[in-house]
Amino acid sequence: MTGGAVIMRHVRALGVSTSHIFYGDDGVNLKILTWKKGLVKKLPNHKEEFGMTDAICCHGNLMMTSAYDLDNGNGYINVFDISAEPSYIATLDCSNTRRILDICCYRDINGNLSIVTAGIDLLVWKQVSDGSEDEDTVRTQFIHTLCEVAEDSDIESDVEFTESESEADSHKGSRRGSVQSNINKSWCTLT
């Protein structure tokens, strides 16, 4: 999580905890406003170089955020611990979820978390007990770049290449290719 220049964009999503206001926009980072101090920090929310955050849901010590891959049209959910300084926990991505425009969640009588997402599809993501999985089970993923310091978002129109630069050189340090599946951790089923 880092501070830095904040580009003014259309705010798409809001979430609130006891000490922070979280917001998402057309950039790859979440913005975290510590309103008592007037500080804005950034937290990575996308594994891609371009993306948008349409939904944020804070529930207890957890924050669920939508992320949308502009390159392939897939949506996924990132989960963060917000009990202190916000930190990334895991990603839920079933690889064919489309854009997620809203998120809400609740705990059932057993304490298992259910997340409901809406957008093009209405999906219920139900936490499963260890060992109970089927063909609809979604495993958590851990995306290393979501633990790194947030990079400032590029403004597409400001990105130009000189003769000495190539587009391939501009992707050094890119967010792509850093997904690691946690094959031992079943998290939920989609209904």
Contact assessment for residue 115 and residue 109, using Cβ atoms and an 8 Å cutoff: no
Which two three-digit tokens encode residue 189? 């089923």
Domain ranges in the chain are 13-151+169-190
Q: What is the SS3 assignment for 73-113?
A: CEEEEEEEECCCCCEEEEEECCCCCCCEEEEEEEECCCCCE
Give residue 170's pLDDT.
39
- Single out the residue of 68, 80, 75, 56 nearest to residue 26, CA to CA: 68
Alpha-helical (H) ranges within the chain are 167-170
> pLDDT digits over 61-114, tens only?
999 999 998 888 899 999 999 998 899 999 999 878 999 999 999 998 988 899
Residue 102 CA to residue 129 CA, distance in Å, equals: 25
Residue 129 CA to residue 117 CA, distance in Å, equals: 21
Low pLDDT (below 70) residues in the chain: 1-7, 130-132, 152-191
Give residue 134's pLDDT.
73
